[in-house]
Amino acid sequence: MSGMRLTTSRVLALATSVLVGCSVSDSATPTSPARTRASFAQAASTEFGYLGATGPSFWGGLDPAWFACGSGPIQSPVDLSGNLVRSRSHDKDLNFDYGSSTTGEIFNNGHTIEIETEGENVLTIDGVAYSLTQFHFHSPSEHTIDGVGRDMELHLVHTSATGATAVVAVFLDRGATSGALSPIFDQLPNDVSVHHELNAPFDVRAFLTEIVPNAQYIGSLTTPPCTEGVHWVVLLSPATVTTEHLAQFHERIHFNARPVQRSLP
């Protein structure tokens, strides 16, 4: 079955640097897709946390390769101004070409629940194609709007052929249903660093809420090594997650949100 395509020629956008073909910024060094995936694995296997002496305030000093966590000028997450989100727009071509049948492996990497995906799921921004490699969760949300966060945030991580990274963020509020994410939450693993094949294929497109309005900006990974040059697309219409599923996540991952690093603009 062919993938579903959504196109928006008008999207709400925020930018902290000039986007040229949505490539990584001058401060970032492009890496291969394999190396980008490895960078997340490195973060999971290195000692860091969200509280105390290994918390976000200290990440930049825990490993020389993580210097950007402490001194990078365009770090994420950010606080988005609601007034600015509503008043500014750019002609950015944003296309989601997601297949309806994706498979994956789920595992607890010690810092989040991550699902590595296999399937044809492509996000195109200004003509640059980014393929979905994995998605994971943060609770509470990392991005905020006018200082207000949400119960959870889903990050869909995409990589281009040149190694550039684009992340789609979806807010999740407590609600009556977890929607298309229910089968994912129903299979949260009890062990750590053990990959489990998901029981059935899933439709990643169904995880997304309304594409417009959204906020776009250039930032960084929100975990070490905090690599900059990441193109963020934050969907502003939240999805929902049940209290039960949120509690099950918290039983495994107690708190995993990096504090806001800056405000836009």
Give every CB contact of residue 82 below 8 A, 6+ residues apart in sequence. 145, 146
Q: How far apart are CA 65 and CA 77, in angstroms?
A: 19
Backbone angles phi, psi at 49, to 5 degrees: -150, -165
Predicted local confidence at residue 85, as pLDDT: 62
Predicted local confidence at residue 135, as pLDDT: 98
Predicted local confidence at residue 25, as pLDDT: 34
Residue type, 84: L
Predicted local confidence at residue 170, as pLDDT: 98
Residue type, 228: E
Q: How far apart are CA 99 and CA 205, in angstroms?
A: 8
Backbone angles phi, psi at 4, to 5 degrees: -90, 140
**Alpha-carbon distances of 215 from 4, 13, 123, 133, 177, rounded to whole Å:** 22, 4, 15, 22, 25
Predicted local confidence at residue 77, as pLDDT: 98
Predicted local confidence at residue 212, as pLDDT: 85
For the chain, domains (ranges, CATH) are: 4-43+73-264 (3.10.200.10)
Which positions of the chain have pLDDT values less than 50?
Answer: 1-45, 88-91
Predicted local confidence at residue 32, as pLDDT: 44
Q: What is the pLDDT of residues 86-108, one digit of tens each?
A: 554 443 678 999 999 999 999 99
| Residues marked as catalytic | 111
Q: How far apart are CA 52 and CA 162, in angstroms?
A: 36
Distance separating the N- and C-terminal Cα atoms of the chain: 42
